[in-house]
Amino acid sequence: METEQQSSRSDGVAAIKVLVVDDSALMRHVLTEILSSDPAIDVVGVASDPFIAREKIKKLNPDVITLDVEMPRMDGLKFLRNIMRLRPMPVVMVSSLTRQGAAVTLEALELGAVDVVCKPEIDIAQGLREYANQIIDKVKAARLAKVSRLVESSEAPRSGSIVKPAASQNSNLHFQTTDQIIALGASTGGTEAIRQVLENLPADTPGMVIVQHIPGMFSEPFAQRMNSICQMTVKQAVHGERVLHGHVYIAPGDQHLLVRRDGARYYCVLSDAEPVNRHKPSVDVLFHSVAQQVGKNAVAVMLTGMGKDGAAGMLALHNLGCRTLAQDESSSVVWGMPGAAVKVGAVDEVLPLKKIAGRLQELYRRPKLNKPLSR
């Protein structure tokens, strides 16, 4: 029998109150079991549809909600939109590992969801238990997240609104080898932060390589979504392909992305090695490879995210004389990764998210990225 619990911890510190919203009784049971195994979390209630959830939110005042994408009576996306308009709070989406589920989940992240938990297509209970630590970490990160009220614009959707220059008219953008690289890392809240950076960069931006902590099923749809709204060409990285001017390469969600230099050219390298800092892809793996292969011609950017992945790699870049930027705390959903980089002395400039694209343009338009800059 599913009952509400009282939130309490033996050490007197308030536990994270979680409401599990899912139409599947099995999912409600397994998620409750996994989350309740951590003493810092109390599952204070469950709900089988958004209407029941709405009443329990009022009654239980949870800190975090886990929300199924596909729900009866009202779909999860519509319910999320209502939450973020009327009572903003951290929401972790639970999505099926399908292409349709990926598209809907990316829209949920745009609406303000903090993160996503993947629902296995077969053997759901065992599949979720294998990722219990990740699920717990996502909920803990969500509790720390800063969420804001959704203000939906009446403007037409951005998707499809960008007309990219034709290759025949801008062949220099497609065939020019770049000796400059921009490397970017992000995690919790990063999909929207990356969007805000990329859509404000022009088509002549140097090649960019990006690691975003995201499930494997979602990385390619995310890249396609970014490609539809950005002047640069955005794609999921492919092993062995050239890093070209005006292009953005996003790491697959289940492989490390590295950069390899061959003469004056750079190439993407994908690796199936073990996770680093519990992440695959790892920002540290990318940044260390950029330090080794690109050196002073790189600029590194750290955006919002939970944990410290990327801090050591950014320090290696900083010590080489590369320019390093980090998103500031006030504009970050979670100031974990940027904060960790700042703490170890790896960051030259801490900037609000809205200023990062402009600062990158100032840097790469100089004759050399490694030219001494006034501070």
Length of the chain: 375
Question: N- to C-terminal Cα distance for the chain?
Answer: 62
Query: CA 19, CA 347: separation in Å to the nearest integer?
Result: 38
Catalytic option among 48, 187, 282, 289: 187
Phi first, then psi: give them for residue 65, nearest 5 degrees. -120, 135
Is the dihedral angle over the CA atoms 337, 343, 348, 353 positive or is it negative? positive
Q: What angle do CA 301, 274, 264 make, to 5 degrees?
A: 50
Q: Examine the residue annotation and report whether 309 is marked as an active-site residue of this protein.
A: yes
Catalytic option among 48, 68, 115, 213: 213
Q: Examine the residue annotation and report whether 115 is marked as an active-site residue of this protein.
A: no
Q: Examine the residue annotation and report whether 161 is marked as an active-site residue of this protein.
A: no
> Is there a cis peptide before residue 202, judged by omega within 30 degrees of 0?
no
Catalytic option among 63, 115, 284, 309: 309
286 Cβ contact list (under 8 Å, min separation 6): 183, 185, 209, 211, 251, 256, 257, 258, 259, 310, 313
Does residue 31 contact residue 135 with C-beta atoms inside 8 Å? yes
Does residue 177 contact residue 265 with C-beta atoms inside 8 Å? yes
Which residues are catalytic, by number?
Answer: 187, 213, 309
